[in-house]
Amino acid sequence: QTQQIFLGKVCSICNGANASALEKEIGPEQFPVNEHYFGLVNFGNTCYCNSVLQALYFCRPFRDKVLAYKSQPRKKENLLTCLADLFHSIATQKKKVGVIPPKKFITRLRKENELFDNYMQQDAHEFLNYLLNTIADILQEERKQEKQNGRLPNGNVDSESSSPPDPTWVHEIFQGTLTNETRCLTCETVSFHLNSLEN
């Protein structure tokens, strides 16, 4: 009975005045609660960017971290704040499906990197690497500033200048190690090769 009430509520949402034609056609059972499916407007061959942003939005751990970043005290505008604004805009829509223009994000991207400051098609993997590395750099710089300002423990700047920066949530989500194992079928000798994965 609880499931019927739940589906009834979802049905009334999907068939109500705020429902799109797509929502009405597909039906409520196809849309998980609290999930939004929004396309991103293409601004002159930005489909490489839009496809990466869509994939990252549906990477739940990444989306949760970006939305949590949005809830922190306001920081100066950078690529991560623009991404957080975009994800927040999608997540808080009343409709389940629709289209959102990522204009602020694209403008900031073009301002920060001249490679993307044109209307040419770009490589999606190259953009993904740039975006994740930029976000990691922003987080590491903010952490460094917080330590210098005494807001984080272990604020000893001298000892940290020679050590590598602490991993960020970007590293925790996207880094790993690929183990390649080869076994000889004759002598059964096994060899391992480890490769670091960084997005």
Residue spans of the domains in the chain: they are: 1-33, 35-151+172-198
DSSP 3-state assignment of 148?
A: helix
Amino acid present at 45: N
Q: What angle do CA 76, 77, 81 make, to 5 degrees?
A: 110
The pTM of the full predicted model, rounded to 2 decimals, is 0.73
CA distance 125 to 43: 19
**More confident position, 63 or 4:** 63
Compute how many other C-beta atoms are within 10 angstroms of the C-beta atom of residue 49.
22
76-113 pLDDT, tens digit per residue, is: 999 999 999 999 999 999 888 889 999 999 999 999 99
Domain spanning 35-151+172-198, CATH class: alpha beta
| Maximum Cα–Cα distance across the chain | 70
Q: Average pLDDT of 42-65?
A: 93
Contact 88, 70 (CB under 8 A): yes
Structure tokens at 183: 């076994």
